[in-house]
Amino acid sequence: MLVLALESFIVVKLINNNFLGADLTHSHFSFTKVIANYLESSDFNYSTIDNSTFFSSILSHAVIDNTKINNSRFSQSSLTNVPILLSVITNTTFDHSDLQQAYFSTTTLDKVVFIKNQLNKVTFSKSNINNTVIHECQANSAIITQGAISNTTINQSQLNNIAIKHSESSKLVIKDSYMDDSELINVTFKESNFNNIVLIRTRFRDNKFYHSHLNLLNLQQAAFINNVFDSTSLKSSVMIGGIMNNVTHKNCDFNKLQLTNCIILNSDKIENAITANIAYSLNQAFSYQDLSSMNFSELKISGYNLSNINLQNSIFRRTSISNTSITDSDFSNCNFHEAKINQSDFKNSNFTNTKFTLAKISNSNFDNANLNNTDLHLSNIKDSTFNNTNSAYSTNSTAKAL
């Protein structure tokens, strides 16, 4: 047992020592500076490290088991392939160090700071990560599983091929980072904030987002499958070439969300959403959606194939629909104000009691549509066809072709 516990706060320095494979079980490092020491494959079991600094030291393949680390610093050191088991790490900083393939199991981290570290292939298993900061780190292929994350910020980091699985997250912040080929599976995110992140080929499966913010995201070829969004914001995010399948939204904010070249399928009812300046575009499918009682402002739909969409009782302000095919959908009791519809087809759809006010409809086709009590007040219809329609529409129209 090595004891370096000092009275009167005298600092002990260990410089250029070789502790290769040393048994440091039940050791106490207190107010100690460990500088350029070789501690590879040493055992720190049931030990205490308090108010100490490890600088330019090698601890690779060491074992840290049932150890308490408090108010300490690991700087420019190597902790690669280190298992950290059943330990508690508090008020500690790791900076400019290499922790690749370190394995944290059933360990608590509280008020820990990681700055400019190599965290590639690090695993946090059944661990609690609280009040922690990860800043400017490389964390490729890192894994967090069966753990809890709270009040933690990940900032300006590379998070390629990471996995966060089967965990609970509260007030997690990930911002100004890159996340490629990663997956988030069966995670509950509460009051979490994902902001200004580039996510490429990232998969979100079986997650729940409550009172969270996913804003300013650049999502490329992302997949959202079986996710729940409750009281969550996706403002000003862009999703290109992705898929959303079996997604539920409630009390969400989609202001300035852009979906391009996306497939959206089999999703549940979207309730009480704020939806301003949403853009859907580029030849993709959007089907089996219940979007009733929505309020859209400046919605743009271009190049889409829409089917089985329920939009009844919704309001569309300055909506633009172009080069789009819509089939088997319900627009009854809707209000289109200053809408522009061009080169679009509506088949087997219901427009009963719908109002088009100051709308412009051109080069479009309505086939087997129900237009009972449709009001085309002061609207302009040009070069459009109505085939096999049930139409008892209003005469308050400037229609040119009906």
Could you report the per-residue pLDDT of 370-397, keeping only the tens digit for each? 999 999 878 999 999 988 887 655 444 4
pLDDT bin (cut points 50, 70, 90) of residue 400 is very low
Provide the sign of the torsion angle of the four alpha carbons 37, 41, 47, 48, taken in this order. Answer: positive
- What radius of gyration do the chain's Cα atoms show? 29
Q: What is the pTM of this model?
A: 0.78
Which residues, 6+ apart, have CB-to-CB distance to 395 below 8 Å? none
Predicted local confidence at residue 306, as pLDDT = 79
Predicted local confidence at residue 398, as pLDDT = 45
Helix or strand run (H / E) with residue 245: strand 243-250
The predicted model gives 162-190 an average pLDDT of 97
pLDDT bin (cut points 50, 70, 90) of residue 244 is confident
- As a whole number of angstroms, the distance between CA 339 and CA 351 comes to 14
145 and 128 in contact (C-beta within 8 Å)? no
Block residue for tokens 């009812």 = 269
107 and 86 in contact (C-beta within 8 Å)? yes
2 and 25 in contact (C-beta within 8 Å)? no
Phi/psi region, residue 371 (left: phi>0; alpha: psi -120 to 50; beta: rest), is alpha
Picking from 52, 56, 7, the residue whose alpha carbon sits closest to that of residue 33 is 52
The structural domains of the chain, with segments of one domain joined by +, span 73-392
- As a whole number of angstroms, the distance between CA 376 and CA 346 comes to 16
Predicted local confidence at residue 136, as pLDDT = 98
Is the domain spanning 73-392 CATH 3.20.20.390? The answer is no
pLDDT bin (cut points 50, 70, 90) of residue 127 is very high
Could you report the per-residue pLDDT of 265-312, keeping only the tens digit for each? 766 555 555 555 555 554 455 555 566 667 777 777 877 777 888 888
- The secondary structure of 35-92 as a DSSP string is ES-B-TT-EEET-EEES-EEES-B-TT-EEES-EEES-EEES-B-TT-EEES-EEEEE
Predicted local confidence at residue 286, as pLDDT = 57
- The secondary structure of 2-39 as a DSSP string is -EE--STTPPEEEES-B-TT-B-TT-EEESEEEES-B-
Predicted local confidence at residue 281, as pLDDT = 53
User: Strand, helix or coil at 397?
Assistant: coil
Predicted local confidence at residue 396, as pLDDT = 47
Predicted local confidence at residue 150, as pLDDT = 98
Q: Is 60 exceeded by the pLDDT of residue 4?
A: no
Provide the mean pLDDT of the chain: 88
- As a whole number of angstroms, the distance between CA 226 and CA 231 comes to 17
- As a whole number of angstroms, the distance between CA 360 and CA 6 comes to 84
Torsion on CA atoms 150, 151, 156, 160, rounded to nearest 10 = 10
In total, the chain counts a number of residues equal to 402
Instruction: Enumerate the β-bridge partners of residue 92.
Output: 112
Could you report the per-residue pLDDT of 75-124, keeping only the tens digit for each? 999 999 999 999 999 999 999 999 999 999 999 999 999 999 999 999 99
